[in-house]
Chain A
């Protein structure tokens, strides 16, 4: 089955119905294994048990950027190939990416409270993730500002691609700004190398979160397709009602034409 076959939403929905239970099971197993390994991981000699926040925090941070990459590819699909599923994929990914970014910020600040003594530090990494979060919110606002999904899709695709070009620049400039304003006063986590005892649970958690994203994304795409069907059914219904009311109503004709 090629990508172009999936342009038919019915075929995509059939594939999702078969795929989704398996994805959910794999996600659950991986998450359980990752959490178990994280719980078994030893405490850090310096950070104590708070180091375990890392096992949640790092996968979230990794996904916050990965999801923007997925949306950029989907936006190319919208603008270049006009693939009908591409804008569904881009729209479904935005709230999920925003949630991962928010969780990365939240877990980061919960880790920062015992480690740095403050919930928020204008550290370069924190700041650029916060800007990423703002851009996710702007993108969601753009999706919500237009009623017609295809029009919103093209505008959002342009913004997503501009964001993909700009995000590395923003990251670079925030790094510059940070080194300019505060000399290295912040202790970096991780140290020189990450011990294997931490690395393996972290990798398992990262894979588990990636599968979690895939599961949520596919489910959200299904919901979006169904939502659009409901919308067009409602519009057809409204049209047939209005033509019934008007003199010489031709509801059957219009319904047949649609």
Chain B
């Protein structure tokens, strides 16, 4: 337990210090959202209607962007080999790393959502709904993306391949995230149904993600 706690603390500290790059994700999120009005026009009514979709798409891309570093940095300096060889189960170590990554890179996206909601003319209810769905859904993005990151690090290829592999798998999260936000804003569905499925997707990714990532690290590293 202490080993996992130490791993989480270490990863967060590395991600937040100079050169860590976790907060670049938030900056990217902001930039994507600012770009949207240039593409669809400065029509506030339209932006309000598209708001939840824009925020979710931005968060999806931003979390994908930062995932590249999840295992690569550790692989470069050799600490990934130590983690693989240590007595802590690799599945738990992967889960700890993903949790640390989510705290450093995913949670700031949720915190930034209310500010970006103002830019898109979302009211308080809509902003709260989007922030809540992002809070429930971004862990799923991180844990699913971790599989892609583990595959990419074993092949010394990152970037585009990671995106191609992970994006189709994150479609359900996107669907239910946006559906829950829309349900809270305009109805007619109750907010609870899609939101519970979103939570279920997150819970399932907590199980599948670490096992798949650990399997790929164990078989792939030489």
Residue positions of A touching B, CB distance < 8 A: 79, 131, 134-135, 137-138, 141-142, 145-146, 151-152, 154-155, 157-159, 161-163, 165-166, 169-170, 172-174, 176-177, 180
Closest to A132 in B: B168
Report how far A159 CA is from B149 CA in the complex, Å: 12
Chain A residue numbers with a CB within 8 Å of B216 are 154-155, 158
Question: Which residues on the B side are within 8 Å of A145 (C-beta)?
Answer: 155, 157, 161
Please give me the residue from chain A that is nearest to B209 by CB atom.
A162
B115 at the interface (CB under 8 A from A): no
Instruction: Give Cα A128 to B138, complex, Å.
Output: 23
Residue pair A173, B175 in contact (C-beta under 8 Å): yes
Q: A155-B216, A162-B208, A169-B201 are in contact. Are A141 and B161 (CB under 8 A)?
A: yes
Please pick, from B189, B197, B201, B220, the residue contacting A155 in the complex, using a CB distance under 8 A: B220
**Most A C-beta atoms less than 10 A away, residue of B189, B212, B222:** B212
A135-B175 in contact (CB<8A): no
A79 x B219 contact (CB < 8 A): yes
Contact across chains for B175 and A177 when beta carbons are under 8 A apart: yes
For window 189-219 of B, CB contacts with A under 8 Å fall at 189, 194, 197, 201, 204, 208, 212, 215-216, 219
Question: Which one of A131, A134, A173, A180 contacts B189 once the chains associate, using CB atoms below 8 Å?
Answer: A180
16 contacts between A and B (CB under 8 A): A79-B219, A135-B168, A138-B164, A142-B155, A154-B154, A155-B154, A158-B216, A161-B212, A165-B208, A166-B172, A170-B168, A170-B169, A173-B175, A173-B176, A177-B179, A180-B189
* Structural contact, B212 and A158, CB atoms closer than 8 A: yes
Complex Cα distance, B204 from A173, in Å, reads: 14
Give CA–CA (A152, B161) in the complex, Å.
Answer: 13
In the bound complex, do residue A142 and residue B161 qualify as a contact, i.e. CB atoms below 8 Å apart? yes
- Give complex CA distance A172, B173 in Å: 12
Q: Which of A79, A155, A169, A180 has the most CB of B within 10 A?
A: A155
Shortest distance in angstroms between A83's beta carbon and chain B's nearest beta carbon? 14
Question: Mask for B147-181, Cβ within 8 A of A = 1, else 0?
Answer: 10011001101000100110011011001100100
Number of A-B contacts (CB under 8 A): 81
Please give, as numbers and ranges, the residues of chain A lying within 8 Å of B157 by CB-CB distance: 145-146
Chain B residues whose C-beta falls within 8 Å of the C-beta of A161 in the assembled complex: 212
Contacting residue for B172 out of A138, A141, A173, CB 8 A:
A173
**Total number of B residues with any Cβ neighbor in A under 8 Å:** 28
Q: How far is the CA of A134 from the CA of B165 in the complex (A)?
A: 9
Q: Which of A137, A142, A152 has the most CB of B within 10 A?
A: A142
Q: How far is the CA of A234 from the CA of B176 in the complex (A)?
A: 51
Docked-complex contact A142 and B172, CB < 8 angstroms? no
Nearest residue (CB) in A for B165 is A138
* Residue of B161, B171, B220 ringed by the most chain A CB atoms within 10 A: B171
Nearest Cβ on chain B to A33's Cβ, whole angstroms:
37
A151 touches B175 (CB 8 A): no
The answer to whether B215 and A174 have CB atoms under 8 Å apart is no
Contacts of A146 in B (CB 8 A): 155, 157
Please, which residue of chain A has its CB at the minimum distance from the CB of B163?
A: A138
Inter-chain CA distance A158–B209, complex, in Å, is: 11
Give B200's nearest chain A residue, CB to CB: A169
Bound-state CA distance A166–B171 (Å) is 10
Closest 6 CB pairs of A and B: A154-B219, A173-B172, A158-B216, A177-B175, A173-B175, A138-B164
Separation of A164 and B198 alpha carbons in the complex (Å): 20
B123-139 near A? 1/0 per residue, CB < 8 Å = 00000000000000000
Given A138-B165, A141-B165, A170-B172, 12 other A-B residues pairs in contact with their CB atoms under 8 A: A142-B165, A151-B154, A157-B219, A158-B212, A158-B215, A158-B216, A159-B151, A159-B165, A166-B169, A170-B171, A176-B179, A176-B194
- Would you call A174 and B151 a contact (CB within 8 A)? no
Residue of B155, B168, B219, B222 ringed by the most chain A CB atoms within 10 A: B168
Q: Which residue of A135, A137, A158, A174 has the most chain B CB atoms within 10 A of its CB atom?
A: A158
A151 to B154, CA, bound (A): 8
Q: Mark B12-25, 1 if CB is under 8 A from A, else 0.
A: 00000000000000
